[in-house]
Amino acid sequence: MAFETNKFDVSKKIRLEKSTFNVECNLETNVEIDKILSVCHSAEPENVEVLNGVINYTGCLDVCLIYLTVDGEIGTINSACPFSSKFESGEIQVGDKAFIKVDVEDYSVENITSSNIKLNCTCEQSCVLVGSREVSNITTGDENMCVKEDELLVNTLLGQAKETFVVTSDFSIKEPVRKVVASDSQVSVRDVESGVNFVSVTGEVITKLLYLTENDRFETSYVTENFKEEVELEGVTRESVCEATACIKRSSVKCEVENTEKGVNVKVSVPVEVLVTAYAQKNVVVAVDVYSTDCDLQLTTSSFDMTRQCQGEAFESKIDGSLTLDENQPRVDKIMFVGGSNLNVTNSYIKDGEIFVEGVTKTNVIYLNDETNSLNSVEIVVPFVISDKTQCEDSARVCVGAILTDVDVAVKKGREFFFDAKVKVRAQCDCDEYGAVISNVEQGGQLPERECAIELVFAKSGQSAWDIAKTVNVREEVITLQNPEVAFPLAQDENIVVFYQKY
């Protein structure tokens, strides 16, 4: 009996368990620092190694710290703190693609000296595995074996590609600038389209610039630069479903300032790395039933699951919040500037045709108190829930990337802060789908010799020629040829005549 095993691949997404780890950042300084005013942070994985059962990776935690010296000067420290971590799971296989996200949940200032600032950051890591899983399916060429085949639509992983490019923003500030205190750039993917052997990714880079004028005013400017990048990826067609993520190499961002007669010209160069992943659906021929005309068979059916990727969606929403200072805190006489803003997405899901995104933002506000002539800072924490309509089903899983922009803070009565901002979201949805194939066939004993040359089979309504042939262990064409007046599947109960002779 000649059975062979054919294999085909299906795409599979697996979400690994979240966990936390600590990163210690040592920031060099050469001034006497009075207080820390603002800390803005972001973490990006860099080098990822996927082995069976474990993912090892390294990354960089970028910190932008704004401080006040004992002499009353405001300064900035930008530092890149390396870190390493790992995931362990029996589901991890060599060849899987790992989408790792690291968020800074919290931080504490452990120590401040004239030469060093020590930060301890608590980071949360999450990972989505994308890979191919083999499914085994049997075939046979044995003339005594009857195999019923069908086409199965499966989801497959086409491939992955990466592209790095620089987005440049040129703009002018129409007043003299004493110094640029800090700049922060974020990237957002807006749309992903598949072509023939390429994927087109559009999005925007938003840069926030904090600067001090010669009139000792702190000002903030937001600059948005759109981009469209084509990433080559062989095998992609217009029908492929593609997803894209983008990140900024913050340590390589360059901000150049040129003085003019009326102000300054600013050029910000932002290196952006785009990673695209492409999926497709294809038909594979699988055996759905097998029987023999001369022996008993024992079939083993194996189920499998695969992931269907949906087209991504982008939307934006406004959020707002407030904070009232305690009585023991200095009142606000003037907001000097809004420092670093950090955003963490804590949950995302689909309900009743809407994508919901839950998270929290933390924004530092630096303000002046006239009574003590001191600069003070306060952190505004705003939990939020935003939503938007979606075409994805409620059972779909959601993975989102979000950035915060256009942050504005106002104060009333010297103690009440009012916060509002925009959140830009890129949501990616996927669904688990299930299938089954015959993965193994074992031969049993020989069928007994037939005691008659003709048999009358009492067939039920709805039965096919295959069902009847399998019942009496003859080939399907025996039933159709010997009963040409019968239409299958049966519209009603029928008596089917079978002559046992060789064809």
First to last CA, the chain: 20
CA distance 168 to 254: 9
Q: Which residues are CB-contacts of 386 (< 8 A; sequence separation ≥ 6)?
A: 317, 319, 356, 357, 423, 425
| pLDDT score of 9 more than 60 | yes
Q: Which run of H or E residues covers position 292? A: strand 264-292
Query: Strand, coil or helix: what is 331?
Result: coil
| Structure confidence at residue 2 as a pLDDT band (50, 70, 90) | low
Question: Minimum mean pLDDT among 10-14, 359-363, 447-451: which range?
Answer: 447-451
469 domain-assigned = yes
User: Strand pairing partners for 5?
Assistant: 138
How far apart CA 264 and CA 98 sit, in angstroms, is: 43
In this prediction, residue 307 has a pLDDT band, given cuts at 50, 70 and 90, of very high
Residues 290, 302: Cα–Cα separation, whole Å: 14
The pLDDT of residue 449 is: 85
Domain extent, residue 38, equals 10-130
Mean of pLDDT over the chain: 91
pLDDT mean over 414-432: 94
Pairwise CA distance, residues 296 & 293, whole Å: 8
- pLDDT of 430 reads 94
Same-domain check for residues 313 and 441:
yes
| Mean per-residue pLDDT, 207-215 | 89
Domain count, the chain: 4
Residues 249, 298: one domain?
no
Residue 299 lies in a domain: yes
User: Is 176 inside a domain boundary?
Assistant: yes
Residue 142's pLDDT is what?
81
Residues 164 and 288 in one domain: yes
State pLDDT tens for residues 258-300.
988 888 899 999 999 999 999 999 999 998 899 998 898 888 8
The answer, yes or no, to whether the previous bond of 176 is cis (omega within 30 of 0) is: no
Looking at the predicted structure, is the pLDDT value of residue 503 above 70? no
Name residues whose C-beta falls within 8 Å of residue 492's C-beta, 6 or more positions apart in sequence. Answer: 461
| Average pLDDT estimate for 226-234 | 96
Confidence of residue 160 (pLDDT cuts 50, 70, 90): very high
| Percentage of the chain modeled with pLDDT above 70 | 99
Average pLDDT for residues 61-76, to the nearest whole number? 89
pLDDT at 30 over 70: yes
Q: Over range 8-34, report the average pLDDT.
A: 93
Question: Is the same domain home to 287 and 303?
Answer: no
C-alpha Rg value of the chain to the nearest Å: 32
Q: Are 305 and 434 in contact (CB under 8 A)?
A: yes
Which of 430, 447, 464 is the last residue in one of the domains? Answer: 447
**Dist. CA 332–CA 122, nearest whole Å:** 31
38 lies in the same domain as 24: yes
Residue 56 in this model has a pLDDT that exceeds 50: yes
Q: What is the pLDDT of residue 501?
A: 67
In a domain, 49, yes or no: yes
CATH number for the domain spanning 490: value is 3.10.350.10
- Mean pLDDT, range 357-364, rounded to an integer: 94
Query: 502 pLDDT band (50/70/90 cuts)?
Result: low
Q: Looking at 221-348, list the stretches that DSSP marks H as alpha helix, in order from N- to C-terminal side.
A: none
Residue 417 in any domain: the answer is: yes
Of 101, 130, 159, the one marking the end of a domain is 130
pLDDT value at residue 214: 87
Quick one: pLDDT at residue 141?
77
* 41 in any annotated domain: yes
Tell me if 136 is assigned to some domain.
Answer: no
Rounded-to-integer distance, Cα 240 and Cα 282, Å: 11
Last residue of a domain, one of 130, 162, 197: 130
Percent share of the chain, pLDDT over 90: 65
pLDDT, tens digit, 9 for 90 and up, residues 448-496: 888 888 888 999 999 999 999 999 999 999 999 999 999 999 999 989 9
Cβ-Cβ contacts under 8 Å for 211 (sequence gap 6 or more):
173, 177, 178, 179, 180, 181, 218, 219, 221
> Among 312, 309, 289, 10, which Cα is nearest to 153's?
10
